[in-house]
Structure 1
Amino acid sequence: MANTRERYCVEDLRKERASCNFNQEELTNLIDGGKEFTDFRRKINASFLNDPAYDDEIPPDYLSHEDRYSNELRKACHTFLKLRNENYTMEEFQSYGPTMLLKDGNPLALHMGMFYDALKGQCTEEQQQRWLGRVKRGEIIGTYAQTELGHGTFVRGLETTATYDLRTQEFVLHSPTITSTKWWPGCLGKTSSYAVVMAQLYSKGKCYGPHPFFVQLRDEKTHRSMPGVTLGEIGPRAGLNTNDNGFLRFNNYRIPRTNMLMKHSQVLKDGTYVKPGHAKLAYGTMVVTRVSLIFHSYKQLQRAVTIATRYSAVRRQSEMVPGYV
């Protein structure tokens, strides 16, 4: 890899690198957290970046919105299978894998991140045994549906309701207003068949605030939306257009009582609400996600700083070759 880099290196940049007065490898190890992490990062990066499956036959900018999504979904599925075949975990790929491997968003990003993290952090052991294996194997694909058309960061103001029906021991999910429409979740528009849905929990006539629920949105065989579920893609955006951000509405859609994620709080068969040790535990998934945003921002800043530094080393204001016009 180093030989290839030097072979195509312009002379100005070669001179800048030669004049470096510190140990570059030592600094790299420090940034990565140790030599073993640098070695692992280089190994996983080489595996993915040298894989021809990520090549584009046609530059994405020349593709339609539909074809761009299909192309990136192909790569996302390949990534999922590659992780399994080469024995890498999702966490290892997210921490050490190459950034921007999928150029305009990952159609499986929320499945590999928020959906998986929510189930891992909010489910009981019995619920994890029911769902987590299928999620990790990619047998079911999911997303995290929290943000609504009228409510973004104001989670306490969410309007989607989950009302417990004591007679059938089910929760009834409903979108009572236009502003209660789930709006913007990635991987929702076309990709996902399941979601962790944040909704206001009602039992015995009392509201207990937002809680997470495991909800099937589409039929696993036909991929058609379930009766009582309306969903789709919100359309092209300024960026990340292959992440199929979507909308979602419920019309008195029923799910089993046991589909409430019950690690921290529960609704018993008789409708009794068992409160969590701390009221904010239900927000744990978003806390993890916001930490990951900082982490991925730093990785993108690394790329930007590298590009800017290299460009500043080679840019000339006058003629490229002295005396040549």
Structure 2
Amino acid sequence: MSQKRLSIAPMIDWTTADFRYFARLFNPNVVLYTEMISTGAILKGNRSRHLRFDDLEHPLVLQLGGADSSEMTKCAVIAQNEGFDEVNINVGCPSDRVQHNKIGACLMAEPKTVAELVKNMQSAVDIPVTVKHRIGIDHFDSYEFMRDFVATVASAGCQHFIVHARVAWLQGLSPKQNREIPPLRYDEVYRLKQEFPELNIEINGGIDSIDDIKSHLNHVDGVMIGRAFYHNPYLLAEANSLWDTSIPKRSEILAKLYPYLEAKVADGEVLATMARHYLGLFQGLTGARKWRQALSGKPKLTIEDIKQAADEVLALNPEA
């Protein structure tokens, strides 16, 4: 795995700082991403809130949503100054909201615009600028369309592409349907790597097991996983086997999580809001449902409540 890469996909409302800290406790090697954050949120909103992270989270990538070259460049500089390790341009999100602002997958139809973003951003920062995109959009769904998009953006200096192996249907499908209905076409991502061996090509979409990861890494440089890691975070722990490093127990992860929770509660954070990210900790084990029930729907949730619920599940699963 020394030359390969495993990462957690940027997911709105999910890959928050509280989840990312939790994820890092499972695996020291996986690359973490923020949610997609728009340039407007950074330049005009609560920047410190949007960009907060713990030093433990490195390596950490800021995913940006935007199409204005000046604004994207300013945000790339801010990202570097704030300590992010990379900046990623979102060219994959299919939602109506981002299309209206010319953000996300609709930018695949404008490869020269994306190339200009890359060129200007890279000229202003030293950290890598990468692109996450689909294999196509709507009726522009041929391999040649994706190949030409990548070639144009690579000519501006981008060396790393994360490819969601589904076409995005911008008309007629919801974002959720766009994660499920268009068929996965992994072979086209493999072909992209074959035609551009000098580029780092990372694959994304429908990957949910260690065996899947290993299989894809025979063809590309990296694997990105989203919902599977979020709903079953212990898969992150099991992925340590890819680096021949030890796999932590859930009890060990909790022991490291509690001080973080205590510090955040002391800072005024709402524990119930943070706890939603931890519901999958015991996925597949006896007592997992009771754990989820104990953490859900309780505005007055306390750390003692979490400890008690965890102890009950751990008692049923001594090896966890």
Q: State the TM-score, normalizing by the size of structure 1.
A: 0.25
Q: State the TM-score, normalizing by the size of structure 2.
A: 0.25
More helix by proportion, 1 or 2?
Answer: 2
Larger of the two Rg values belongs to structure: 1
